[in-house]
Amino acid sequence: MGFWDTLTGRSKPKQANLDALFQVPSAALTLQSALGFVPTGDGAVCYRAAAGAGFADAQRDLVALLGEGSDAPKVTTQSDSYGFTWLLVDNEPLDPQNPDLTGLCTDLHAVNTTLEQDGYGPGLLCSLIPFADSAGRKVGLVYLYKQGTFYPFAPTGPNSRDNLLEIQVRDTLKGDLSLEPELSRWMALWGAPGL
């Protein structure tokens, strides 16, 4: 940041560290051993879709690229009631004894990177990786694109969440992930896919 930016109070936004998504597989092992949550095998990237044929082409190419091949995940898009688009990567359920998230994290990284490189980075909101335990509780690890940090989100109903579980997950993963320190940024993702 330069002298003029300091005087005028401007600051540069924090750059996303998309490689942080590759820390999720080791965090998943910690989450499984400490709290019994295993990854569902699914994931999603949330963004505000841009108008125009260029964005539609980029989105269609991403869906085709990720869904290519015999063992490829099912890749779809859906819009939510808030006007955001979710690109869903639906893998087979992962083996609870050996939850390998590397492929899923690679796919989510590719979506974010491609949209960023095509000039659509400002529209990226977050990436989501859902987990579930044997009691049926769900929690999602949410990567905030603009902050470069993670936070847990544990919905318990249409408009309720388990704050105690979220704090417990945060405390469990503090050594594995760069966690969002500002609780006010722990957005509720009501109706998020996989949760």
Per-residue pLDDT of the chain (195 residues; tens, 9 = 90+): 566 666 666 555 556 688 899 999 999 999 999 999 999 989 999 999 888 888 999 899 888 888 887 778 889 999 998 899 999 998 877 666 666 689 899 999 999 999 999 999 999 999 999 999 999 999 999 999 999 999 999 999 889 999 999 999 999 999 999 999 999 999 999 989 989
- If you search the block for the tokens 């009501």, which residue do you land on? 190
Among 43, 23, 139, 31, smallest CA distance to 93 is for: 43
Query: Where is 71: in which H helix or E strand?
Result: none
pLDDT of residue 91: 81
User: Do the Cβ atoms of 29 and 95 come closer than 8 Å?
Assistant: no
Q: Where are the domains of the chain?
A: 30-185
pLDDT at res. 43: 94
Three-state DSSP class for residue 76: strand
User: Model pTM?
Assistant: 0.88
